[in-house]
Amino acid sequence: MFSLTLKEALRSLSASKFQTFIALLGILVGVASVVGMFSIGESAKEKSLAGLKALGTDVITGSMQQSNTVMRRYLDTDILKASDVVKMSTDNKFILTSAPRISNFTTVSHSGTVSNANIAGITDKFDILYKQTIKLGRRLTQFDMEKNYCVLGYDIAGKLFGKVSDKITGKSINIKRSKFVVVGIYEKNKYFNSSDNLNECVFIPIRQAELLFESKKLTNFKAKIKEGFSADKAKVTIQDYFVRRLGLSVNVETQEMLIKQAEEQSKTSSNVLLATASISLIVGGIGIMNLMLVSVKERKREIGIRRACGAERSHIVTQFLSEAVILSTIGGILGIILGIIISLAISIFADWRPIIPLNSIVISFAASLLIGMAFGYMPARKASKIEIIDAMKME
Amino acid sequence: MIALSGINKIFKRPDGRQVFGLKDINLEIGQGEFAAIVGPSGSGKSTLMNILGCLDKPTSGQYKIKGQLIGDKSDKEISAIRNKEISFIFQSYNLLTKLNAIENVELPLVYRKIPLNTRRTEAYRALCQVGLQDRMLYKPSHLSGGQQQRVAIARTLASKPSVILGDEPTGALDPATRNEILNIIKDLVALKGITVVLVTHDMDIANMAKRVIKISEGLIIEDYKN
């Protein structure tokens, strides 16, 4: 009985292939987006977390609290400066080394090629704390601090010079109205971080950045703490230190907190994406309901004949319901395949490891099954309620 | 076998007026009887047939098949009666267009939950009886009217009912095929213990019948034995 129901359902669905395909398109797109969203979310999370984890848990990050930076923008005395961070790291014995940084967007150019870039004012400690390695030339040392030298991030080097080659070192670029000599190019940083992409940065000595932007205001700093010293304790101690010494409230975060934040954030965004995808699943369900309603109307006579031959109402319900479920399941399977293809394609484009979580496939498959049942039930019930003599009259 | 008492069927017209389709019908047809119901169109023949076949319910009155009162049965129980006790032969054949001949013949057996092998054998045997075994994989659209009606008769044979109801079974056929079908119906009637009720305009069928029931304007006006 079951295999016959299945066979007949497939037969009547294949009778109008085009209509059937249109009806399951909604489910297909819905499921594909659920699978795709899950995969993209997981891959992006993995990549951004890998970036944070690569820096190590013995690192803390400090920045001025938002309200302070806005209110005290023009008061030179109330801002956190590079010199404050240097003093902090000598005053606190548990700090091994620290790297202050000033970041600002402006245009850079090289012989007619103009690009917008993130200018990062750094010290010689930057490479250690940010785990940056040199590809060509050399890094900025403590002896370069008073010089107009710069090191380029991998991507911005490509943008300004067409392609990365050892011919770039020694050439000069213009930042605002000042000339800077390129002394090196960093290796491409694999870790994805949309808000702070080091591959798009031009690195200059922090002293030069202060002059260029006419402000000593630090964007943030990173500090490495001694092995065995608790990161949480370091956070509290450093916050206290800045309040006591400078009356500044500096926000210090441990690497663990940043990882947790990133995880939270990706969870929220994947929930939003999932909600959007479920709406398209529901729309897909309506498509199936529509096809089934039309089908019930067209097949009134068939229903009448079956009933005259002894089919119970429940047989008719089963017949139409299984058609709807098969329809949505086919849509679901095609959607899963499409979703996997999309995830793989994006992973190649975005240069990250494709992750297709098994639960996304299970969930979306179950969802398509459930939607078939939910949206197929009404038409199936309607079919079973048709009076036999009315159904037989239809020619 | 069949017993109707005080059956009324009232139809509501779109304008709200009520019209009697059947008026106080009292009728008994015994097991093994062959009866023809005749009468002009609109007289209520088909309405009576639908009630006899449990396709429609009377507005009032009692209907019994094999002593079972139909009125207070559930859809499931009535479906089982339609499935096991009754079989229809319609003027318009009423075959499922998507199924081939043998699958159509099997249909009542499917709802009886008979396993595939058994029902296929039964259906094949029935198709042999009407001489269509070599057309068993044909869809109805590839069969002539006479052949389609033979498939419908095979469906009836395979389901081995107590009562066969025919609604103008030769109505849509040309004279030659009509005779062919008439011969098959004669064979059906000869089956032991089977009750056959045919609605017809065809006086040859009516004359074949052992009993003729004449209906006019929803009333039985004559009931005689040939």
Q: Return d(Cα A52, Cα A139) in angstroms, integer.
A: 22
**Is B188 part of a structural domain of the chain?**
yes
Nearest to A310 among B82, B96, B98 (CB): B82
**Is B68 part of a structural domain of the chain?**
no
Q: Return d(Cα A331, Cα A368) in angstroms, integer.
A: 8
All residues of chain A having their beta carbon less than 8 Å from the beta carbon of residue B155 are 309
Give the phi and the psi of residue A313 in degrees, each rounded to 5.
-55, -40
Mutate to test the interface with B, among A299, A305, A318 (most CBs of B within 10 A): A305
Write down how long chain B is: 226
Q: Please, which residues bridge with residue A128 across strands?
A: none
Instruction: Tell me how crowded residue A373 is: count the other CB atoms within 10 A of its CB.
Output: 16
All residues of chain A having their beta carbon less than 8 Å from the beta carbon of residue B55 are 307-308, 388-389, 392
| CA torsion, ordered A134, A138, A139, A142, to nearest 10 deg | 160
**Is B187 part of a structural domain of the chain?**
yes
CATH number, domain at B106? 3.40.50.300
Q: Which is nearest to B51 in space by CA: B151, B207, B197? A: B197
**Is B15 part of a structural domain of the chain?**
no
All residues of chain B having their beta carbon less than 8 Å from the beta carbon of residue A395 are 92
Q: Contact B80/A395, CB-based, under 8 Å?
A: no
**Is B53 part of a structural domain of the chain?**
yes
Q: Which is nearest to A376 in space by CA: A293, A268, A273, A276? A: A293
**Is B98 part of a structural domain of the chain?**
yes
All residues of chain B having their beta carbon less than 8 Å from the beta carbon of residue A15 are 98
What is the pLDDT at residue B153?
Answer: 94
One DSSP character per residue, A17-67 reads HHHHHHHHHHHHHHHHHHHHHHHHHHHHHHHHHHHHHHT-TTEEEEEE-HH
**Is B117 part of a structural domain of the chain?**
yes
All residues of chain A having their beta carbon less than 8 Å from the beta carbon of residue B56 are 387-389
Which are the contacts of A127, defined by CB distance < 8 A and separation ≥ 6?
A133, A134, A139
Judged by a CB distance cut-off of 8 A, whether residue B163 touches chain A is: no
Q: Which is nearest to B53 in space by CA: B20, B94, B113? A: B94
Judged by a CB distance cut-off of 8 A, whether residue A313 touches chain B is: yes
Q: Contact A305/B53, CB-based, under 8 Å?
A: no
CB B143 within 8 A of CB B101: yes
Q: Which of residues 11-40 of A touch B (CB under 8 A)?
A: 11-12, 15
Judged by a CB distance cut-off of 8 A, whether residue A53 touches chain B is: no
Number of domains comprising chain B: 1
**Is B43 part of a structural domain of the chain?**
yes
Q: Which of residues 87-146 of B touch A (CB under 8 A)?
A: 88, 90, 92, 94-98, 107-108, 110-113, 116
Determine the structural domain holding residue B194 and report its residue range. Answer: 32-57+75-225
Which are the contacts of A266, defined by CB distance < 8 A and separation ≥ 6?
A41, A44, A45, A48
Element holding B25 (H helix, E strand): strand B18-29
Q: What is the complex's ipTM, to 2 decimals?
A: 0.94
Residue recorded with tokens 């006419």: A214
Q: Please give chain A's pLDDT, 395 residues, in tens.
A: 567 777 777 877 777 788 888 888 889 998 998 898 888 888 888 887 887 777 778 888 898 765 444 444 555 567 888 888 888 988 998 999 999 999 999 999 998 888 888 999 999 999 988 888 899 999 999 999 999 999 999 999 998 998 888 888 899 999 988 999 999 999 988 765 656 788 889 999 999 999 998 888 888 999 999 888 888 899 999 999 988 888 888 889 888 888 888 888 888 888 887 788 888 888 889 989 999 999 999 999 999 999 999 999 999 999 999 999 999 999 999 999 999 999 999 888 877 888 888 888 998 899 999 999 999 999 999 999 999 988 887 54
Judged by a CB distance cut-off of 8 A, whether residue A298 touches chain B is: no
Instruction: Tell me how crowded residue A226 is: count the other CB atoms within 10 A of its CB.
Output: 12
In this prediction the pTM is 0.74
SS3 B23: strand
Nearest to A311 among B111, B155, B159 (CB): B111
